Amino acid sequence: QVQLEESGPGLVKPSETLSLTCSVSSGSITSDYWSWIRQPPGKGLEWIGYISYSGTTDYNPSLKSRSTISLDTSKNQFSLRLSSVTAGDTAVYFCARHTTLTLFGVASAGGMDVWGQGTTVTVSS
């Protein structure tokens, strides 16, 4: 069973770049689709973006200009960088694996069937 674990600094200063890593175990990063999602305190889920096994990315339009998701196949990890952070970026950050949806022979990301436990990131000076 695939397992995911987020890691990274729990405290980031305003205007700096938030960097998180998701380590994938019992599965390969070179298959499937992988997402980052966040949840501000007391609020709902917000999708940040995803990366495919081939390195294709898509992002939430509201965060696209500040977000970068990348794969590290040698370490079986994928990462998130979110630049120019503010207090509004304070949240629990989750990584997740997507199911694969195949329609008319074309594969795409479906829902998210495996999640990490989440890591809390606070933006504060």
Partner 1 sequence: SYDLTQPPSVSVSPGQTATITCSGDELGAKFAYWYQQKSNQSPLLIIYEDNKRPSGIPERFSGSNSANIVTLTITGTQAMDEADYYCQAWHNNALVFGGGTKLTVL
> Shortest approach of partner 1 to residue 83 CB, angstroms?
20
Residues in contact with partner 1, shown as a per-residue x/- string from 11 to 50 under the rule CB under 8 A? ------------------------x--------xxxx--x
Nearer to partner 1, 105 or 125 (CB): 105
Q: Which residue from 13, 99, 107, 122 is in contact with partner 1, where contact means CB under 8 A?
A: 99
**Separation of CA 75 from chain center:** 16
Asked if residue 111 binds partner 1 (CB under 8 A), the reply is yes
What type of residue sits at position 4?
L
Instruction: List, in order, residues 6 or more apart from 27 with CB less than 8 Å away.
Output: 2, 3, 97
Query: CB atoms < 10 A from the CB of 42, how many?
Result: 5
Residue 70 phi, psi dihedral angles, 5° rounding: -140, 160
Nearer to partner 1, 41 or 125 (CB): 41
Nearer to partner 1, 59 or 78 (CB): 59
Asked if residue 62 binds partner 1 (CB under 8 A), the reply is yes
Asked if residue 110 binds partner 1 (CB under 8 A), the reply is yes
Pair 116, 5: CB distance under 8 Å: yes
**Separation of CA 32 from chain center:** 14
- Which residue, 116, 80, 83, is CA-closest to 97? 116
Binding site for partner 1 (CB under 8 A): 35, 44-47, 50, 58-62, 94, 99, 101, 108-113, 115-118
